[in-house]
Structure 1
Amino acid sequence: MSAKKAGTLREILQRHVDEGPLPGAVAMVARGDRIEVAEVGAADTTAATPLTRDSIFRIASITKPVVAAAVMMLVEDGRIALDAPVDEWLPELASPMVVRTPASPVDDVVPAVRPITAFDLLTFRSGHGFPSDFTLPAVSPLFSELKQGPPQPQHVLPPDAWMAALSRIPLLHQPGDAWLYNIGSDILGVLIARVTGRPLPEFLAERVFEPLGMVDTGFAVPAGKRDRVPYYYRKDEAGGLEPIDAPDGQWSTVPPFPSGAGGLVSTLGDWYAFARMLLADGRAGDRTLLSPDSVRQMTRNHLTEPQRAAGTLFLEGQGWGFGGSVDVRAVDPWNVPGRYGWVGGTGTAAHITPSTGQVTILLTQLEAEGPVPSALLRDFWRYGA
C-alpha cells in the first residue's frame, strides 16, 4: 500500500461513520483477482442490523450506465441507430421548441434546428436537463412537472403522461450544443420500452440482470428481501439524520415510472458483475452482452472542452461517455484518466478504469448534500487511485 493511503479501506469508512452522521457504508476496490471489501456501520440509527455486502441499496444515478448499456444492446440488435432521430418512438419530441436564450422565459421560444437523436440522449446533449444555474426559468418545470431531483419513485407520472409533460417544456439549448444533467437517461428508459414494446424493468431483467446474475437488482425489492434494505436518510438542520424512506417504503413496489436515470436498487456484488462485463469488453463468461466497440463508445469522452467547462457544477471538468462521466484530468490524486462511472444522490458511487481493470464501488444510505462530492467520496477515491 502506498504512503498516500491513509489507513485501510475499512478504517477510512469507519472514521466517517464514527464522525457521523453516516450510519454505515459498504465499499469495494478491485483490480483483477485482488478484491478488498469493507462493511461498516448499520442499516439504521438503532445500530441493530449491520450493513453487509448483501445489503440492498437505492443506487440512484449509478442506474445510468446500466440503462446506457441496454440502449447499446438495441443498437447492436439493429432496432435503433445512434444518429437517427428518436421521434419515431418518441413523437412527443418530434417538434421541440427551444428557449431563445437559456435565461429566456418559457414562452420565448424558437424551433429546434434539427431532430433529437439517441446519441444526443446518451451524451446528455438533447437540450433537456439541468445546467449549473438552477434559477433559469426553463429549469423550474423539471422539478414541478417531471419530479426531477431526489428520487421519489411512487410520485412520478407514468411514462406516457410524463412524456406528454416533457413535450410542453422547452429545451434549454439546441440539440447537440450543451451537456445538461439527468433527463437524458429517463428519456432513454422510455425509449427502450417503446422500441421493444416491453416495460423497462422486464427488458433490463432479461437482457442485463439475468445474464449477469444480478439477482438483487431491479426497481423494487420483494417482500422476502426487505430485511436487507437499509433505511434511507438525509442530514437535518441540526446535523442529525432525518429518515426519508423505510425498507417497506417507495421501493417496495414497482413504480409508475421506472426511472432510467435513478430508479434501481442493487448490491455491491451485482454492480460489480456489471462492471466486470464492461471491463471484459462486453462479455460475461461464455455470453456476449455487448461488442467491444459498444463498450468503448460508452466509456470514452464525447464532450468538447467548452461543454465540459459549462457542466462544472456536476462534472468538475470531467468528460461524459454514455450514462457516465469519463475522467480526462490528472490534477488530483483521485483523478484517474479514463475512469468511467458516476455517483448517485442517495450516497453511492461506482467506477471502472479500463486501462487498469480497476473497479471502485461505494454504497451508503445517506443522501448527498449536492453535486459536489463529499469528503467520504474523495477519501474513498483517493484510496482507490
Structure 2
Amino acid sequence: MDKSNSGFSEAGLRKIRDVLTRHVDSGKIPGVVALVGRGEETHVEAIGTMRHDGGAPMSRDTIFRMASTSKPVTMAASMALLDDCRLRLDDPVDQWLPELAGRQVLKRIDGPIDDTEPARRPITVRDLMTSTFGLGIDLTAVGSPIFNAIFENGVFSQGAAPLPEQDEWMRRLGTLPLMRQPGEHWQYHLSHDVLGVLVSRVTGRPFETFLRERVLDPLGMFRMLLDHGMHGTERILSRPAVELMTTNRLTPEQEAARSTLARNAVNVSFGQGQQGGWGFGMAVRTYRGDYAPLGQFGWDGGTGTSAYADPENGITGILLTQVGLTTAAPAQLIHDFWTTVYQAVDA
C-alpha cells in the first residue's frame, strides 16, 4: 500500500497539495498554509503569496488573522480558571461583571428595545461558555431594533471601528437588553468577548497576559485538546476540562437553532457550522453530514481559517488563508481541504 510514515497515504498527501494548488491557481485565493497531523508526524504545505497582487510567499511562519478560530483559545484560558477553582460553571457572573447584573430581556426578539421583562435568573459562567447568555449574532433578528443597536453601540468586534477598552465595552454592552432569557438560546460570538473580560477581572491581569502565560507559551499551539489536555509532558488543562469543551452542551432545540444559522448562510458556508453540536467555544459534530466522523471538534474563522481535531482518527488539521468568508471561495477551499484530508487517512 502507498503509505507515508504519518498515517496518511503519499497519494493522499499529494491530492491535498494538488487541491490547495488548484484553489490558488484559480486566482481567488492568493495563498494558503495548511497543516495535517496524525500520531507524531505532521505535514505542512505553504502555497502562493500573501496578497492577490503578489507580496511575500507563504511560509510556515506567516502571520494570519484567526478571527473566530481563536474562540477555542479563549475558552482554554477560561477552562484553566475552572481547573483552579477560581470559577465554577454555575457561578453567577454579577460579582465580576456587574454590567450584566439585573438584566432586562426583550419580550419579543423583533420588538422595541424598551419593551422588556426581568430576566428569570442571573447569567452564569456556564451561559457564557455555551454561548447562551442571551446576546449574540442571531440571523433570526437581522434588521430588528436590538440587532441594529448591537452594531450602533460598537459592541460587535468585527465592525469597522476598533473596539473600546474593556470596561467601556462592557458599559456599552450593559446598556442593551438581552435578546433571550439566560440559558435559553444559542447565539454566536459575543459571549467569547465577554469571557475575555471575565478572565481579566477574575485574575486581575490583562487577558492577553494570562492567555500567553497559561496557554500559549507552554502550548506553542494546537494538538493539546486531542491529547486530553497534555502538551508533551506538561499538562495545560485537566482531562475533564477538555472533555467538557469537546462534547456537545446544547439541547436538541438549541442545536437546531445553531444549525439553522449555517444553513441560512449557505452561500458562504458549504458545510461550515452544520456539525450539529457545540461544546465550550467550538463546534462538536453530532451527526455525519460529510466526510468527518462524529466527535470531530473545532471551528472556522471569518477571515478564512479552519482548525479541527478528530479523536476517532487521531487527526489535527489547520488551514490558514487571508481571504474573508464574505465570498464563497475560502469556504469552498475549507470544504475541499477537509474532504481531501479524510481521503488521505490510512487505517
Instruction: Say whether 1:295 aligns with 2:295.
Output: no
2:34 matches 1:27: yes
TM-score by length of 2: 0.88
Select the residue among 155, 158, 162 that pairs with 1:150: 158
Of residues 352, 364, 367, the one that matches 2:309 is 352
Alignment partners' CA distance in 2, 1:193 and 1:372: 37
Query: Which whole-Å CA distance do the structure 2 matches of 1:6 and 1:103 have between them?
Result: 49
**Offset of 1:149 from its aligned partner?**
5.5
* Partner amino acid, structure 2, of 1:354: P
- Contact 2:106–2:116 at 8 Å: present in 1 too? yes
- What is the aligned-residue identity percentage? 43
Query: In the alignment, residue 182 of structure 2 is paired with which amino acid?
Result: P
Query: Quick one: structure 1 residues 370 and 45, their matched pair in 2 at CA, closer, same or farther if it must change by over 3 Å?
Result: closer
Instruction: For 2:153, give the aligned amino acid.
Output: E
Matches within 5 A, 1:1-385: 8-133=15-140, 134-148=142-156, 150=158, 155-212=162-219, 214=220, 273-274=221-222, 276-311=223-258, 312-314=260-262, 315-316=273-274, 318-333=276-291, 335-369=292-326, 374-385=331-342
CA distance 1:151–1:30, change in 2 (3 Å): farther
**Cα pair 1:308 1:317 within 8 Å, conserved:** no
Deviation at 1:35, TM superposition (A): 2.1
Q: Is the 8 A contact 2:304 2:330 kept in 1?
A: no
Deviations 1:238-273 (A, max 9, x none): xxxxxxxxxxxxxxxxxxxxxxxxxxxxxxxxxxx3
User: Which is worse superposed, 4-13 or 163-172?
Assistant: 4-13
Separation of aligned partners in 1, 2:85 and 2:13: 49
Deviates more, 1:7-16 or 1:189-198: 7-16
CA deviation string 1:60-85 (max 9, x = no partner): 11111011111111011111111110
Considering fraction of residues, name the structure with more helix: 2
Code of the aligned partner of 1:165: R
Report the alpha carbon displacement of residue 377 of structure 1 after superposing the two structures with TM.
1.1
Q: Which moved more, 1:177-186 or 1:96-105?
A: 96-105
Cα drift, residue 321 of structure 1: 0.5
Deviations 1:198-254 (A, max 9, x none): 001111111011112x3xxxxxxxxxxxxxxxxxxxxxxxxxxxxxxxxxxxxxxxx
Runs of 4 or more above 6 Å deviation: 370-373
Name the structure 2 match of 1:231: none
* One-letter amino acid of the counterpart of residue 207, structure 1: R
Alpha-carbon separation, structure 1, partners of 2:329 and 2:29? 17
The alpha-carbon deviation at position 7 of structure 1 amounts to 5.6
For 2:191 and 2:181, the matched residues in 1 are separated by 14
SS at match of 1:191: helix
**Over aligned residues, Cα RMSD in angstroms?**
2.0
Q: Read off the aligned partner of 1:63 and give its amino acid letter.
A: S
Distance 1:281 1:359 in 2: 13
Alpha carbons of 1:373 and 1:336: their partners in 2 closer, same or farther (altered >3 Å)? farther
Alpha-carbon distance in structure 2 between the residues aligned to 1:27 and 1:13: 9
> CA contact under 8 A between 2:29 and 2:329: conserved in structure 1?
no
C-alpha change, 1:113 and 1:157, in structure 2 (3 Å) is same
SS at match of 1:139: helix
The residue aligned with 1:242 is: none
Aligned counterparts of 2:199 and 2:340: Cα–Cα separation in 1: 37
Show structure 1 runs of 5+ residues with no match.
Answer: 215-272
Compared CA separation, residues 136 and 165, structure 1 to 2 (3 A) = same
Amino acid of the structure 2 residue aligned with 1:305: P
Q: Is the 8 A contact 1:5 1:383 kept in 2?
A: yes
The 2-side partners of 1:32 and 1:332 are apart by 23
**Structure 1 residues 50, 372: closer, same or farther in 2, change over 3 A?**
closer
Structure 1 residue 36 displacement after superposition: 2.1
Q: Give the conservation status (yes or no) of the 8 Å contact 1:10–1:39.
A: no
For 1:304, the aligned partner's letter is T
